[in-house]
Structure 1
Amino acid sequence: MSQIIWIARHANRLDFVNPDWFLTAERRYDPPLSEDGFLQAKQLAKRLQDEKIHHIFASPFLRTVQTANTVAEVLDLPIKLETGLSEWLNPEWMDEEPERHPIRELVQIYPRIDTSYTPLIAAKYPETNAQVRARSGQTARCLATDYSPENILLVGHGASVNGAVLGLAGTNTYQAEKVRLCSLFKLVREHPEWWIELKGDTSHLTEIEEMVRLN
Protein backbone atom coordinates (compact mmCIF):
# COMPACT_ATOMS: atom_id res chain seq x y z
CA MET A 1 0.00 0.00 0.00
CA SER A 2 1.41 3.40 -0.96
CA GLN A 3 1.90 6.40 1.30
CA ILE A 4 2.66 10.03 0.48
CA ILE A 5 4.68 12.36 2.69
CA TRP A 6 4.55 16.04 1.81
CA ILE A 7 7.28 18.24 3.31
CA ALA A 8 7.20 22.05 3.17
CA ARG A 9 9.43 24.81 4.41
CA HIS A 10 7.70 27.70 6.19
CA ALA A 11 6.87 30.86 4.24
CA ASN A 12 8.83 34.13 4.39
CA ARG A 13 9.57 35.49 7.87
CA LEU A 14 9.36 39.02 9.19
CA ASP A 15 13.02 39.35 10.14
CA PHE A 16 14.07 38.44 6.59
CA VAL A 17 11.98 41.37 5.31
CA ASN A 18 12.76 43.73 8.21
CA PRO A 19 16.06 42.79 9.90
CA ASP A 20 15.60 45.59 12.46
CA TRP A 21 12.69 43.63 13.93
CA PHE A 22 15.27 41.43 15.65
CA LEU A 23 16.71 44.35 17.63
CA THR A 24 13.62 44.97 19.74
CA ALA A 25 11.78 41.63 19.56
CA GLU A 26 10.72 39.92 22.77
CA ARG A 27 11.45 36.49 21.24
CA ARG A 28 14.25 37.23 18.80
CA TYR A 29 14.51 33.74 17.37
CA ASP A 30 10.79 33.10 16.92
CA PRO A 31 9.65 35.61 14.28
CA PRO A 32 6.22 35.55 12.67
CA LEU A 33 5.57 35.39 8.95
CA SER A 34 5.94 38.56 6.94
CA GLU A 35 3.04 40.00 4.96
CA ASP A 36 4.19 38.26 1.79
CA GLY A 37 4.83 35.14 3.87
CA PHE A 38 1.13 34.88 4.66
CA LEU A 39 0.43 35.16 0.93
CA GLN A 40 2.92 32.37 0.23
CA ALA A 41 1.23 30.19 2.87
CA LYS A 42 -2.14 30.76 1.19
CA GLN A 43 -0.63 29.74 -2.14
CA LEU A 44 0.78 26.59 -0.54
CA ALA A 45 -2.66 25.82 0.91
CA LYS A 46 -4.27 26.26 -2.50
CA ARG A 47 -1.67 23.90 -4.00
CA LEU A 48 -2.53 21.22 -1.43
CA GLN A 49 -6.30 21.71 -1.17
CA ASP A 50 -7.18 18.76 -3.42
CA GLU A 51 -4.57 16.36 -2.04
CA LYS A 52 -5.58 13.56 0.30
CA ILE A 53 -3.68 14.62 3.39
CA HIS A 54 -4.77 13.09 6.68
CA HIS A 55 -2.43 14.70 9.24
CA ILE A 56 -0.41 17.91 9.53
CA PHE A 57 2.72 18.11 11.70
CA ALA A 58 4.58 21.36 12.26
CA SER A 59 7.62 22.65 14.08
CA PRO A 60 6.49 24.62 17.17
CA PHE A 61 8.15 27.84 15.99
CA LEU A 62 5.66 30.62 15.18
CA ARG A 63 6.44 30.86 11.47
CA THR A 64 5.88 27.14 10.91
CA VAL A 65 2.69 27.16 13.00
CA GLN A 66 1.35 30.07 10.95
CA THR A 67 2.23 28.36 7.68
CA ALA A 68 0.70 25.06 8.80
CA ASN A 69 -2.40 26.78 10.15
CA THR A 70 -3.11 28.40 6.80
CA VAL A 71 -3.01 24.97 5.15
CA ALA A 72 -4.98 23.36 7.99
CA GLU A 73 -7.83 25.82 7.59
CA VAL A 74 -8.18 24.91 3.91
CA LEU A 75 -7.90 21.16 4.55
CA ASP A 76 -9.99 21.33 7.75
CA LEU A 77 -7.39 19.43 9.77
CA PRO A 78 -5.79 19.86 13.22
CA ILE A 79 -2.11 20.68 13.64
CA LYS A 80 0.22 18.47 15.65
CA LEU A 81 3.27 20.33 16.97
CA GLU A 82 6.38 18.18 16.67
CA THR A 83 9.64 19.46 18.17
CA GLY A 84 11.60 17.03 16.02
CA LEU A 85 10.86 19.33 13.06
CA SER A 86 12.24 22.41 14.84
CA GLU A 87 14.69 24.94 13.49
CA TRP A 88 18.37 24.02 13.51
CA LEU A 89 19.46 25.24 16.96
CA ASN A 90 22.72 26.52 15.59
CA PRO A 91 24.87 28.46 18.10
CA GLU A 92 26.34 30.46 15.20
CA TRP A 93 22.84 31.85 14.53
CA MET A 94 21.58 31.97 18.11
CA ASP A 95 23.60 33.12 21.10
CA GLU A 96 21.20 31.37 23.47
CA GLU A 97 18.52 28.72 23.40
CA PRO A 98 15.64 30.26 21.43
CA GLU A 99 12.60 31.32 23.42
CA ARG A 100 9.43 30.29 21.60
CA HIS A 101 5.86 31.43 22.03
CA PRO A 102 4.28 29.29 24.77
CA ILE A 103 1.93 26.58 23.53
CA ARG A 104 -0.94 28.01 25.62
CA GLU A 105 -0.62 31.30 23.75
CA LEU A 106 -0.43 29.59 20.37
CA VAL A 107 -3.54 27.54 21.09
CA GLN A 108 -5.53 30.67 21.91
CA ILE A 109 -4.64 32.15 18.53
CA TYR A 110 -4.60 28.91 16.54
CA PRO A 111 -7.22 26.58 18.04
CA ARG A 112 -6.50 23.95 15.40
CA ILE A 113 -3.45 22.94 17.43
CA ASP A 114 -4.03 19.47 18.84
CA THR A 115 -3.16 19.73 22.53
CA SER A 116 -3.47 15.97 22.98
CA TYR A 117 -0.49 15.26 20.73
CA THR A 118 2.83 14.45 22.41
CA PRO A 119 5.98 15.22 20.38
CA LEU A 120 8.14 12.23 19.52
CA ILE A 121 11.61 13.75 19.25
CA ALA A 122 13.30 16.52 21.25
CA ALA A 123 15.49 19.30 19.84
CA LYS A 124 18.33 20.35 22.14
CA TYR A 125 20.42 23.52 21.95
CA PRO A 126 23.15 23.72 20.77
CA GLU A 127 23.29 21.27 17.89
CA THR A 128 25.43 20.61 14.84
CA ASN A 129 24.21 20.26 11.26
CA ALA A 130 24.64 16.49 11.55
CA GLN A 131 22.49 16.47 14.69
CA VAL A 132 19.62 18.46 13.16
CA ARG A 133 19.62 16.18 10.13
CA ALA A 134 19.63 13.10 12.35
CA ARG A 135 16.74 14.21 14.59
CA SER A 136 14.56 15.54 11.76
CA GLY A 137 15.26 12.42 9.73
CA GLN A 138 14.33 10.22 12.67
CA THR A 139 11.19 12.30 13.17
CA ALA A 140 10.10 11.85 9.55
CA ARG A 141 10.69 8.09 9.68
CA CYS A 142 8.82 7.69 12.96
CA LEU A 143 5.82 9.71 11.78
CA ALA A 144 5.70 7.90 8.44
CA THR A 145 5.71 4.56 10.25
CA ASP A 146 3.29 5.51 13.02
CA TYR A 147 0.71 6.98 10.64
CA SER A 148 1.14 4.56 7.73
CA PRO A 149 -0.58 4.21 5.29
CA GLU A 150 -2.11 7.68 5.79
CA ASN A 151 -0.64 10.66 3.98
CA ILE A 152 0.95 13.40 6.07
CA LEU A 153 2.30 16.93 5.69
CA LEU A 154 5.39 18.06 7.59
CA VAL A 155 6.07 21.80 7.93
CA GLY A 156 9.59 22.64 8.99
CA HIS A 157 12.63 24.82 8.33
CA GLY A 158 15.41 24.70 5.77
CA ALA A 159 17.63 22.35 7.74
CA SER A 160 14.86 20.17 9.14
CA VAL A 161 13.24 19.83 5.70
CA ASN A 162 16.58 18.60 4.36
CA GLY A 163 16.91 16.21 7.27
CA ALA A 164 13.38 14.86 6.84
CA VAL A 165 13.89 14.23 3.12
CA LEU A 166 17.25 12.57 3.77
CA GLY A 167 15.75 10.49 6.56
CA LEU A 168 13.18 9.00 4.21
CA ALA A 169 14.90 8.93 0.81
CA GLY A 170 18.50 8.38 1.92
CA THR A 171 21.74 9.92 0.70
CA ASN A 172 21.84 7.80 -2.45
CA THR A 173 18.61 9.44 -3.63
CA TYR A 174 18.88 12.97 -2.24
CA GLN A 175 21.78 15.31 -1.59
CA ALA A 176 21.04 18.13 0.87
CA GLU A 177 20.60 21.52 -0.74
CA LYS A 178 19.36 24.99 0.15
CA VAL A 179 15.59 24.83 0.52
CA ARG A 180 13.54 27.76 -0.76
CA LEU A 181 10.89 29.42 1.38
CA CYS A 182 7.51 27.68 1.16
CA SER A 183 8.87 25.10 -1.28
CA LEU A 184 7.35 21.65 -1.39
CA PHE A 185 8.66 18.10 -1.51
CA LYS A 186 6.59 15.02 -2.25
CA LEU A 187 7.87 11.59 -1.29
CA VAL A 188 6.01 8.42 -2.21
CA ARG A 189 6.49 4.98 -0.70
CA GLU A 190 5.67 1.69 -2.30
CA HIS A 191 6.78 -0.49 0.59
CA PRO A 192 9.63 -0.50 1.44
CA GLU A 193 11.13 2.00 -1.02
CA TRP A 194 10.74 5.78 -1.05
CA TRP A 195 11.21 7.99 -4.07
CA ILE A 196 11.04 11.77 -4.53
CA GLU A 197 8.26 12.85 -6.86
CA LEU A 198 8.66 16.59 -6.20
CA LYS A 199 11.86 18.26 -4.98
CA GLY A 200 11.82 21.85 -3.73
CA ASP A 201 8.85 22.75 -5.93
CA THR A 202 7.85 26.44 -5.94
CA SER A 203 5.46 26.41 -8.91
CA HIS A 204 2.58 27.35 -6.58
CA LEU A 205 4.26 30.65 -5.60
CA THR A 206 3.91 33.88 -7.55
CA GLU A 207 7.29 35.06 -6.22
CA ILE A 208 10.33 33.29 -4.82
CA GLU A 209 13.19 34.86 -2.91
CA GLU A 210 16.36 35.89 -4.71
CA MET A 211 18.68 34.71 -1.94
CA VAL A 212 18.04 31.27 -0.47
CA ARG A 213 18.79 31.05 3.26
CA LEU A 214 18.85 27.92 5.36
CA ASN A 215 17.44 29.28 8.61
Structure 2
Amino acid sequence: MSCASISHQNIVIMRHGERLDNIDPSWASTASRPWDPPLAQAGHIRAFQMGRGIQQSLKYPIHRVFVSPFLRCVQTVVELIAALPTINNDLGTNIGEDNFIDNSKVKVSIEYGLCEVFNNVAIRPNVAPKDGNISFDVSELEALLPTETMDYNVQKVYNELPQWGESFLQARARYQKTIKELADKYPTENLLFLTHGEGLQTVLSSTRKDGANAKLQYCAYVELRRPIFNKDQLFDGGEFNVLPHYSQTGVSYISSNDP
Protein backbone atom coordinates (compact mmCIF):
# COMPACT_ATOMS: atom_id res chain seq x y z
CA MET A 1 0.00 0.00 0.00
CA SER A 2 1.40 3.40 -0.95
CA CYS A 3 2.07 6.08 1.63
CA ALA A 4 -0.55 8.75 2.05
CA SER A 5 0.02 12.08 0.33
CA ILE A 6 -1.29 15.22 1.99
CA SER A 7 -3.06 18.20 0.45
CA HIS A 8 -5.51 20.68 1.94
CA GLN A 9 -9.14 21.64 1.60
CA ASN A 10 -10.23 25.24 2.12
CA ILE A 11 -13.69 26.27 3.28
CA VAL A 12 -15.19 29.77 3.20
CA ILE A 13 -18.40 30.50 5.13
CA MET A 14 -20.05 33.83 4.26
CA ARG A 15 -23.08 35.83 5.32
CA HIS A 16 -25.38 37.42 2.72
CA GLY A 17 -25.44 41.13 1.84
CA GLU A 18 -27.73 43.89 3.14
CA ARG A 19 -31.42 43.02 3.00
CA LEU A 20 -33.95 45.44 1.57
CA ASP A 21 -36.30 45.51 4.57
CA ASN A 22 -33.49 47.00 6.68
CA ILE A 23 -33.13 49.88 4.21
CA ASP A 24 -36.84 50.31 3.45
CA PRO A 25 -38.97 49.20 6.45
CA SER A 26 -42.17 49.81 4.47
CA TRP A 27 -41.24 47.17 1.87
CA ALA A 28 -42.68 44.27 3.90
CA SER A 29 -46.15 45.83 4.12
CA THR A 30 -46.81 45.25 0.40
CA ALA A 31 -44.55 42.26 -0.30
CA SER A 32 -46.03 38.89 -1.25
CA ARG A 33 -43.20 37.14 0.63
CA PRO A 34 -42.32 39.60 3.41
CA TRP A 35 -40.23 36.99 5.22
CA ASP A 36 -37.92 36.59 2.20
CA PRO A 37 -36.52 40.04 1.42
CA PRO A 38 -34.20 40.59 -1.54
CA LEU A 39 -30.91 42.42 -1.35
CA ALA A 40 -30.94 46.18 -1.14
CA GLN A 41 -28.88 47.98 -3.77
CA ALA A 42 -26.17 48.37 -1.14
CA GLY A 43 -26.23 44.60 -0.70
CA HIS A 44 -25.67 44.00 -4.41
CA ILE A 45 -22.75 46.42 -4.40
CA ARG A 46 -21.18 44.98 -1.26
CA ALA A 47 -21.50 41.39 -2.54
CA PHE A 48 -19.80 42.27 -5.83
CA GLN A 49 -17.06 44.17 -4.02
CA MET A 50 -16.58 41.22 -1.67
CA GLY A 51 -16.13 38.96 -4.68
CA ARG A 52 -13.40 41.27 -5.94
CA GLY A 53 -11.87 41.35 -2.46
CA ILE A 54 -11.80 37.57 -2.26
CA GLN A 55 -10.13 37.54 -5.65
CA GLN A 56 -7.25 39.47 -4.12
CA SER A 57 -7.06 37.75 -0.73
CA LEU A 58 -7.70 34.03 -1.30
CA LYS A 59 -4.70 31.96 -2.37
CA TYR A 60 -6.84 29.22 -3.86
CA PRO A 61 -9.78 28.87 -6.27
CA ILE A 62 -13.35 28.27 -5.22
CA HIS A 63 -14.70 25.15 -6.91
CA ARG A 64 -18.21 24.89 -5.46
CA VAL A 65 -20.71 27.20 -3.82
CA PHE A 66 -23.59 25.97 -1.65
CA VAL A 67 -26.26 28.55 -0.93
CA SER A 68 -29.32 28.98 1.27
CA PRO A 69 -32.60 29.16 -0.69
CA PHE A 70 -33.48 32.58 0.73
CA LEU A 71 -33.52 35.18 -2.03
CA ARG A 72 -30.95 37.49 -0.45
CA CYS A 73 -28.46 34.62 -0.31
CA VAL A 74 -28.98 33.57 -3.94
CA GLN A 75 -28.66 37.19 -5.07
CA THR A 76 -25.42 37.51 -3.10
CA VAL A 77 -24.03 34.50 -4.95
CA VAL A 78 -25.02 36.01 -8.30
CA GLU A 79 -22.86 39.04 -7.51
CA LEU A 80 -19.99 36.92 -6.20
CA ILE A 81 -19.93 34.77 -9.33
CA ALA A 82 -19.50 37.89 -11.45
CA ALA A 83 -16.17 38.44 -9.66
CA LEU A 84 -14.95 34.92 -8.87
CA PRO A 85 -14.03 33.50 -12.30
CA THR A 86 -10.82 35.54 -12.44
CA ILE A 87 -9.59 33.57 -9.42
CA ASN A 88 -10.30 30.30 -11.15
CA ASN A 89 -8.50 31.41 -14.30
CA ASP A 90 -5.47 32.90 -12.59
CA LEU A 91 -4.79 30.47 -9.74
CA GLY A 92 -4.19 26.75 -9.73
CA THR A 93 -5.61 24.32 -7.21
CA ASN A 94 -3.62 23.22 -4.17
CA ILE A 95 -5.73 20.09 -3.73
CA GLY A 96 -3.12 17.79 -5.22
CA GLU A 97 -1.15 17.25 -8.37
CA ASP A 98 -3.08 14.11 -9.32
CA ASN A 99 -6.49 15.81 -9.18
CA PHE A 100 -7.05 18.01 -12.18
CA ILE A 101 -10.15 20.05 -11.48
CA ASP A 102 -11.57 22.30 -14.17
CA ASN A 103 -11.23 25.68 -12.50
CA SER A 104 -12.80 27.66 -15.34
CA LYS A 105 -16.32 27.50 -13.83
CA VAL A 106 -17.49 27.47 -10.26
CA LYS A 107 -20.45 25.13 -9.60
CA VAL A 108 -23.46 26.21 -7.51
CA SER A 109 -26.11 24.22 -5.64
CA ILE A 110 -28.99 25.29 -3.40
CA GLU A 111 -28.88 23.61 0.00
CA TYR A 112 -31.78 23.71 2.48
CA GLY A 113 -29.42 22.97 5.35
CA LEU A 114 -27.97 26.49 5.07
CA CYS A 115 -31.29 28.32 5.39
CA GLU A 116 -32.31 30.81 8.06
CA VAL A 117 -33.38 29.53 11.47
CA PHE A 118 -37.04 28.55 11.10
CA ASN A 119 -38.64 30.39 13.98
CA ASN A 120 -40.30 33.74 14.61
CA VAL A 121 -37.19 35.22 16.19
CA ALA A 122 -34.77 34.81 13.29
CA ILE A 123 -37.61 35.36 10.82
CA ARG A 124 -39.04 38.52 12.30
CA PRO A 125 -42.36 38.09 14.10
CA ASN A 126 -44.06 40.94 12.24
CA VAL A 127 -43.56 39.11 8.91
CA ALA A 128 -43.29 35.45 9.90
CA PRO A 129 -46.21 33.38 8.55
CA LYS A 130 -48.53 32.42 11.40
CA ASP A 131 -48.90 28.90 10.04
CA GLY A 132 -45.16 28.52 9.46
CA ASN A 133 -45.82 27.84 5.78
CA ILE A 134 -42.61 28.83 4.04
CA SER A 135 -41.69 27.38 0.67
CA PHE A 136 -39.35 28.11 -2.22
CA ASP A 137 -39.57 27.64 -5.96
CA VAL A 138 -36.07 26.25 -6.47
CA SER A 139 -36.36 26.39 -10.27
CA GLU A 140 -37.00 30.15 -10.08
CA LEU A 141 -34.00 30.62 -7.80
CA GLU A 142 -31.77 28.54 -10.05
CA ALA A 143 -32.87 30.66 -13.01
CA LEU A 144 -31.23 33.68 -11.37
CA LEU A 145 -27.83 31.99 -11.64
CA PRO A 146 -25.80 31.55 -14.82
CA THR A 147 -26.92 28.26 -16.39
CA GLU A 148 -23.39 26.96 -16.78
CA THR A 149 -22.73 27.27 -13.05
CA MET A 150 -25.63 25.10 -11.88
CA ASP A 151 -24.93 21.55 -10.74
CA TYR A 152 -28.31 19.79 -10.72
CA ASN A 153 -26.85 16.42 -9.75
CA VAL A 154 -25.79 17.32 -6.22
CA GLN A 155 -27.78 15.50 -3.56
CA LYS A 156 -28.87 17.84 -0.78
CA VAL A 157 -27.89 17.13 2.81
CA TYR A 158 -31.42 18.25 3.75
CA ASN A 159 -34.10 17.46 1.18
CA GLU A 160 -36.77 19.28 3.17
CA LEU A 161 -36.92 22.61 4.96
CA PRO A 162 -36.75 22.63 8.76
CA GLN A 163 -39.97 22.40 10.69
CA TRP A 164 -41.36 25.71 11.86
CA GLY A 165 -40.45 26.41 15.47
CA GLU A 166 -36.89 25.14 15.09
CA SER A 167 -34.72 26.09 18.07
CA PHE A 168 -31.39 27.87 17.70
CA LEU A 169 -29.70 24.78 19.12
CA GLN A 170 -31.30 22.62 16.43
CA ALA A 171 -30.33 25.11 13.74
CA ARG A 172 -26.70 25.16 14.86
CA ALA A 173 -26.57 21.37 14.67
CA ARG A 174 -28.07 21.63 11.18
CA TYR A 175 -25.43 24.10 10.01
CA GLN A 176 -22.62 21.95 11.40
CA LYS A 177 -23.98 18.78 9.80
CA THR A 178 -24.46 20.47 6.43
CA ILE A 179 -20.96 21.94 6.25
CA LYS A 180 -19.25 18.79 7.48
CA GLU A 181 -21.11 16.40 5.16
CA LEU A 182 -20.58 18.51 2.07
CA ALA A 183 -16.91 19.04 2.88
CA ASP A 184 -16.52 15.27 3.26
CA LYS A 185 -18.42 14.68 0.02
CA TYR A 186 -16.07 16.96 -1.97
CA PRO A 187 -12.69 16.56 -0.21
CA THR A 188 -10.69 17.51 -3.31
CA GLU A 189 -12.50 20.82 -3.82
CA ASN A 190 -12.52 24.18 -2.08
CA LEU A 191 -16.03 25.19 -1.02
CA LEU A 192 -17.89 28.40 -0.25
CA PHE A 193 -21.04 28.27 1.89
CA LEU A 194 -23.36 31.28 1.53
CA THR A 195 -25.64 31.37 4.53
CA HIS A 196 -27.08 33.59 7.27
CA GLY A 197 -25.63 35.28 10.32
CA GLU A 198 -26.49 32.36 12.61
CA GLY A 199 -24.70 29.93 10.30
CA LEU A 200 -21.53 32.00 10.37
CA GLN A 201 -21.90 32.50 14.13
CA THR A 202 -22.10 28.71 14.56
CA VAL A 203 -18.77 28.25 12.78
CA LEU A 204 -17.09 30.98 14.85
CA SER A 205 -18.41 29.56 18.11
CA SER A 206 -17.05 26.12 17.26
CA THR A 207 -13.59 27.37 16.28
CA ARG A 208 -12.90 30.25 18.71
CA LYS A 209 -13.39 30.62 22.43
CA ASP A 210 -14.66 34.16 21.90
CA GLY A 211 -16.76 33.22 18.87
CA ALA A 212 -20.02 33.77 20.75
CA ASN A 213 -19.07 37.45 21.10
CA ALA A 214 -18.58 38.02 17.37
CA LYS A 215 -20.28 40.91 15.57
CA LEU A 216 -20.87 40.16 11.89
CA GLN A 217 -21.12 42.66 9.08
CA TYR A 218 -23.05 41.79 5.96
CA CYS A 219 -20.93 39.63 3.64
CA ALA A 220 -18.62 38.83 6.54
CA TYR A 221 -16.75 35.57 6.02
CA VAL A 222 -14.28 33.24 7.67
CA GLU A 223 -11.86 30.70 6.21
CA LEU A 224 -11.16 27.22 7.53
CA ARG A 225 -8.55 24.72 6.34
CA ARG A 226 -7.96 21.04 6.92
CA PRO A 227 -5.54 18.38 5.66
CA ILE A 228 -6.76 15.84 3.12
CA PHE A 229 -4.99 12.46 3.12
CA ASN A 230 -4.84 10.59 -0.19
CA LYS A 231 -4.01 6.91 0.17
CA ASP A 232 -4.49 4.84 -2.98
CA GLN A 233 -7.05 7.38 -4.30
CA LEU A 234 -9.09 7.16 -1.11
CA PHE A 235 -9.50 10.59 0.45
CA ASP A 236 -9.84 11.18 4.18
CA GLY A 237 -10.20 14.62 5.74
CA GLY A 238 -8.67 15.72 9.01
CA GLU A 239 -10.12 18.26 11.42
CA PHE A 240 -10.65 21.85 10.36
CA ASN A 241 -7.96 23.89 12.02
CA VAL A 242 -7.71 27.48 13.13
CA LEU A 243 -4.23 28.10 11.73
CA PRO A 244 -2.00 31.15 12.25
CA HIS A 245 -3.04 32.42 8.82
CA TYR A 246 -6.73 31.88 9.65
CA SER A 247 -8.59 34.63 7.85
CA GLN A 248 -11.77 36.50 8.56
CA THR A 249 -13.29 39.62 7.06
CA GLY A 250 -16.13 41.69 8.46
CA VAL A 251 -15.93 40.04 11.89
CA SER A 252 -15.20 41.85 15.15
CA TYR A 253 -15.34 40.73 18.76
CA ILE A 254 -16.90 42.27 21.84
CA SER A 255 -15.16 41.68 25.11
CA SER A 256 -17.30 39.70 27.57
CA ASN A 257 -16.38 42.37 30.12
CA ASP A 258 -17.96 45.17 28.11
CA PRO A 259 -21.17 46.64 29.56
**TM-score, length-scaled by structure 1:** 0.83
Structure 2 distance, partners of 1:165, 1:155, is 15
The answer to whether the Cα contact below 8 Å between 1:7 and 1:153 also exists between their aligned partners in 2 is: yes
Alignment match, 2:65: 56
Letter in 2 for 1:162: Q
Structure 2 distance, partners of 1:81, 1:166, is 24
TM-fit CA distance, 1:100: 4.6
Match of 2:216 among 179, 198, 209: 179
Instruction: Choose 1 or 2 for highest CA Rg.
Output: 2
TM-fit CA distance, 1:105: 1.5
Deviations for 1:136-191, whole angstroms, at most 9, x for unmatched residues?
01111111111113210000000122224446x3x658436342211111111133
3-state SS of the aligned residue for 1:182? strand
Give aligned pairs, total: 200
TM-fit CA distance, 1:60: 0.7
Q: Establish whether residue 202 from structure 1 lines up as the match of residue 250 from structure 2.
A: yes
Percent identity over the alignment? Answer: 29
Q: Structure 1: where are the runs of 5+ without partners?
A: 204-215
Moved more, 10-19 or 123-132: 123-132
The answer to whether the Cα contact below 8 Å between 1:91 and 1:127 also exists between their aligned partners in 2 is: no
Match of 2:202 among 143, 151, 163: 163
Q: Establish whether residue 4 from structure 1 lines up as the match of residue 4 from structure 2.
A: no
In structure 2, relative to structure 1, the CA distance for the partners of 1:106 and 1:192 (3 Å cut) is closer
Deviations for 1:19-68, whole angstroms, at most 9, x for unmatched residues?
11111110111111000100001011112235411111110111000111
Structure 2 distance, partners of 1:181, 1:47, is 14
Alignment match, 1:134: 173
Alignment match, 1:105: 140
Alignment match, 2:31: 25
TM-fit CA distance, 1:126: 1.6
Root-mean-square deviation (Å): 2.3
3-state SS of the aligned residue for 1:44? helix
The answer to whether the Cα contact below 8 Å between 1:3 and 1:148 also exists between their aligned partners in 2 is: yes
Q: Structure 2: where are the runs of 5+ without partners?
A: 1-6, 86-104, 228-237, 252-259
Moved more, 85-94 or 7-16: 85-94
The answer to whether the Cα contact below 8 Å between 1:58 and 1:156 also exists between their aligned partners in 2 is: yes
TM-fit CA distance, 1:128: 1.0
